Amino acid sequence: MRLLLVLVQTLDLLAGPQTAAEGVAYHQARQRAEGAFAAGRAAEVEGLADSLARVYPRDHRNWHLLARLKASLGRHDEAAAAYQRVGAIVGWRSPYHYPGVMTAVQRLAAGDRAGALDELRRELDERRNFYVRSAVFGWPGLAALQADTQFLRIVGRPDVAGLARDDRWRADLDFLVAELTRVSPDYHDAPLPAEFTRRVAALRAAIPRLSDDELLVGMNRALAALGLAHTAVFPRPGSGRLPVRPYAFPDGVYIVEADAAHRDLVGTRLVAVGGTPVDSALRLLGAHRNVSGPMMHVWGAADLASTPHLRGTRVIGGGDTTTLTVRGRDGRTRTVRVPTDGPGLPGRQDRLVAPPGAEAPLFLRALDQSHWDAPLPGHDAHYVQLNQVRPDPDETVAQFGLRLRRVLAERRPRHLVLDLRHNNCGATGSYPELLRTLVAYTTQPDARLYVLIGRRVFSATANLVTDLERLARPVFVGEPTSACCDFAGDPNAATLPYSRLGVELASVRWNLAFDVYDARRELVPDVPVQLDAASYFAGRDPAMDAVLALIRGAGAR
């Protein structure tokens, strides 16, 4: 009898469309159902969606379509059941379906408040899913629970109003460790490193004698023992910055931008902050930085203008002004005072800006666009700048990839230059069309791809360069990246219950390299070129000069 049961179960795996005609009809039916649903005609294909899930239940796409379709028609119990089937197939940690939380949303919409709370409890306490508790707090469709004490406890919003200051910080530290353990790709099911545990214990003991900024830095020092990208505690927005933009060149840290009152500091070399030599300040800041690759420390020179980080590492004291010691181009050194808690400069503080008083080189001309491209006359080349793996207002990354494909097919340039030096983030799932365009280009005879990289290449862009190395064999030019190959990504935002400090916690371990055991944490360029301060302030781009030299060396067709 048992053998017969096993045989029946095995043959059940072969259920579904069998003949060529049935397989094609099934595929076309699903396309028809998906298209009708996307066009807002869910009611027309409800029966078809039911049939698809019934005929071929092992395909999660059928259940995901059915869940969304039933929800749009107000059949929330059926939608919840379909989301449960999605989770059973793709897993409950899927960041593209969120089956558990969506089940809770549908149960709440069906009037089953207790069922919704039970589902959320399973998601966050039993399944220990990747999204952080505070992200679930603001989830669309769960607003009706936001005053519920059970819900607040589940999503990590404990009542800390009655706690003393030190106990509140202990509550924040407990929350940080618990969330890290729950969502981390490395420590979800493994013990935390002993050094991290030691640093957390030491920080807990020191809470009464540390300032708030020192506790911010102390949490980051504990996290730095993990060596995980996308895992950090951040100052509150608007918590204060010095009115300058420092940038690390190979020949020193220079001020590349300042507010109107301190414009005369632009172009000077930063020698000391608050009396602390710059090299020492960088070491102190670096000891509290959680990095994937070592170039993140160079990129992190922007923290020399971050008031909470400077105070938290005791580089500066608590005064309203801070001294900056600078050396001018004439070699003279002077010390000036600047406001400590100002709003800082507009835009991303860690990004290089166009040089003052000089024509901006190509790579510093359109930083407000996520992507753009232009021909390089006289070089049989086309230039592409991808500043973020995110859409522009009028074009998605996928649409850009398709448009670039048409441009390359029409112009047929021998050389393609992809500039990624400003690109630190985005969505890995959004660049496949662009990747397909780049890879297809490199399959053509004599086509050459040059990729400009540097310290800001990180996150989704690190995945892109890893994919390009594996699939397109480009020539990489510039600096090493801050991540590649093997790194933790897909950060989820959290908020500490008491201090309201923002937190990022990595939730996915990526490795898209040739070899899944490749443990590199940076991609090193084939042609190492650095931007020195003199070249920057003169409006020159040595890395692009190197690419053009390679193009000239390749000769004409």
Res 555: pLDDT? 64
The CATH code belonging to domain 162-350 is 2.30.42.10
How does pLDDT run across 332-354, given as a tens digit for each residue?
999 999 999 888 898 888 899 99
Q: What pLDDT, on a 0 to 100 scale, did the predictor assign at position 137?
A: 84
Tokens at 348, concatenated: 């991303």
> Do residues 440 and 407 make contact, with C-beta atoms less than 8 angstroms apart?
no
For a pLDDT cut of 90, what percent of the chain falls above it? 75
pLDDT of residue 8: 47
Q: Give 433-443 pLDDT, tens digit per residue.
A: 999 999 999 99
Mean pLDDT of the chain: 92
pLDDT grade for 420, boundaries at 50, 70 and 90: very high
Q: How large is the C-alpha radius of gyration of the chain? A: 27
Which tops the pLDDT comparison, 395 or 140? Answer: 395
Q: How far is CA 225 from CA 193, 239, 356, 447, 485, in A?
A: 8, 26, 39, 44, 20
Residue 556 scores a pLDDT above 60: no
pLDDT of residue 323 exceeding 60, the answer is yes
Q: Which residues contact 270 (CB under 8 A, 6 or more apart)?
A: 246, 252, 253, 254, 255, 278, 304, 324, 325, 326
80 vs 71: CA distance, rounded Å: 8
CATH code matching the domain that covers 24-129, chosen among 1.25.40.10, 3.40.50.2300, 3.40.50.11540, 3.10.180.10: 1.25.40.10
Give yes or no for residue 393 having a pLDDT over 70. yes
Q: What is the pLDDT of residue 557?
A: 47
- Provide the pLDDT for residue 7: 43
pLDDT at 96: 60
| pLDDT for position 2 | 52
pLDDT tens figures, 68-120: 999 999 999 999 999 999 999 988 876 667 899 999 999 999 999 999 999 99
pLDDT band at 12 (very low <50, low <70, confident <90, very high): low
Going by C-beta distance under 8 Å and a sequence separation of 6 or more, which residues neighbour residue 397?
Answer: 370, 371, 389, 390, 391, 426, 427, 430, 431, 433, 434
pLDDT at 283: 97
Q: What is the pLDDT of residues 466-495, one digit of tens each?
A: 999 999 999 999 999 999 999 988 888 888
pLDDT for position 517 = 86
Strands 502-505 and 448-453: unpaired
- Percent of the chain topping pLDDT 70: 96
The tokens for 416 are: 């393609």
On the question of pLDDT at 6 being above 70, the answer is no
Contact 229, 488 (CB under 8 A): yes
pLDDT of 326: 98
pTM of the model: 0.87
pLDDT of 516 over the 90 cut: no
Q: In which band, very low, low, confident or very high, does the pLDDT at 14 lie, cut at 50, 70 and 90?
A: low
* Rounded mean pLDDT, 299-313: 96
Q: Is the dihedral of CA 247, 253, 257, 260 positive or negative?
A: positive
H-assigned helices in 479-540: 533-537
Task: For the chain, give every domain's residue range.
Answer: 24-129, 162-350, 362-484+522-554
Task: Tell which phi-psi region holds residue 351, choosing left (phi > 0), alpha (psi between -120 and 50) or beta.
Answer: beta
272 Cβ contact list (under 8 Å, min separation 6):
278, 281, 323, 324, 325, 335
The region of weakest confidence among 130-139, 157-166, 181-190, 469-478 is 130-139
pLDDT in tens, 362-383: 999 999 999 999 999 899 999 9
Is pLDDT at 11 greater than 50 in this prediction?
A: no
Who has greater pLDDT, 347 or 257? Answer: 257
Distance CA 275, CA 469 (A): 44
Average pLDDT score over residue span 379-388: 97
Reported as a pLDDT band with limits 50, 70 and 90, residue 403 is very high
- Averaged pLDDT for residues 38-42: 95
pLDDT in the model for residue 123? 87
Instruction: Find the range with the poorest average confidence among 140-149, 258-267, 435-444.
Output: 140-149
User: Which one is the CATH code of 362-484+522-554: 3.30.70.1140, 3.40.50.300, 3.90.226.10, 3.40.50.10860?
Assistant: 3.90.226.10
Instruction: Give the C-alpha distances (Å, rounded to integers) separating 207 from 88, 218, 237.
Output: 44, 10, 23
